[in-house]
Amino acid sequence: MLGIVLCGGQSLRMGTDKGLLSHQDKLWAQMAADSLSALDLPVKFSVNPLQQETYAGYFGDECLIVDHSLLDIKGPLLGVLSAHLSNPEEDLFLLACDMLLMEIRLLEKLIHSLKADDSFEAYIFTKDGQQEPLCGIYKFEGLKKIVHLLQANGLAKHSMKYVLSYLRVCEIAIEDQDYRYFSNFNSHAEINGL
Residue 70 confidence (pLDDT): 85
**What integer pLDDT is reported at residue 8 of this predicted model?**
80
Report the 3 state secondary structure along the chain: CEEEEECCCCCCCCCCCHHHCEECCEEHHHHHHHHHHCCCCCEEEEECHHHHHHHHHHHCHHHEEECCCCCCCCCHHHHHHHHHHHCCCCCEEEEECCCCCCCHHHHHHHHHHHHHCCCCCEEEEEECCEEEEEEEEECHHHHHHHHHHHHCCCCCCCCHHHHHCCCCEEEEECCHHHHHHHCCCCCHHHHCCC
pLDDT per residue as tens, the chain (194 positions): 999 999 987 655 556 788 898 888 899 999 999 999 999 999 999 999 999 999 999 999 999 999 998 888 989 999 999 999 999 999 999 999 999 899 999 999 999 999 999 999 999 999 999 999 999 999 999 999 999 999 999 899 999 999 999 999 999 999 999 998 898 766 566 666 55
Give the CA distances from residue 89 to residues 92, 105, 132, in Å, rounded to whole numbers and listed in that order.
10, 26, 24
In the chain the domains, ranked by start, together with CATH numbers, are: 2-191 (3.90.550.10)
99 contact partners, CB below 8 Å, separation of at least 6 = 32, 134, 135, 181, 182, 183, 184
Q: What pLDDT sits at residue 24? A: 84
Q: What is the pLDDT of residue 159?
A: 94
Judge whether 15 and 182 are in contact, CB under 8 Å. no
Q: What is the pLDDT of residue 186?
A: 63
pTM for the whole structure: 0.94
